[in-house]
Chains A and B, each alone.
Chain A
Amino acid sequence: MSKKVIVIEDERNIIEAISFILSRDGWDVVTHSNGHDAIDAVRLRKPDIVILDVMLPGKSGFDILQEIRGDGELGQIPVLMLTARGQEKDREMAQRAGASAYMTKPFSNAEVLDAVRHLATV
């Protein structure tokens, strides 16, 4: 059974791109596009890996990450954070919040794939 990835991102085109890449690599990709109920989606889908955008409508990615880390059942899920702001302090905040990996947009497809594969082995 293939591993499941949830992509929490509000940009349609980016979701489509990531879905395409990961699906081709054999991942089961689900998507979610707003911050409000992102944590519910994670609980529902029980993914193996979470790809999380920082700037989401409704709730910041950092807040969602904290919620995931605060949840006993989901606490250990690897989370890959994506950000478009490209600022150093975002990387630090992500690390403090407990992100497993961090990636700045625009990324190359190979980078994303490598990161997801890597997280899956940990």
Chain B
Amino acid sequence: MRRGPPTIFVQERTYKRRRMADAARMLPILGVILFMIPLLWSDGETGPDSTRTAAVMIYLFVVWAALTGVAAVLSRRLGPEEDTPEDSATEEDAG
């Protein structure tokens, strides 16, 4: 998707890139909030009805996976500019 039609509508690309950078900045904040939510569940009584570790674990891993996925999408959109002809994995030459 990074290699769409080349340089036409660069302005819009630039705009989008900035919004992607904004999203990349916001993501960890969202992550902190989501990871702290289980603390709200532990309020109240302890006992058989209190929150199960398994449930929290599943919640955490789902959030974790989702954050990772969003981060992956964002990082691809925040790829280097036009000066990188190939995929970033092989772009650099020796030296």
Direct contact of A and B (CB under 8 A): no
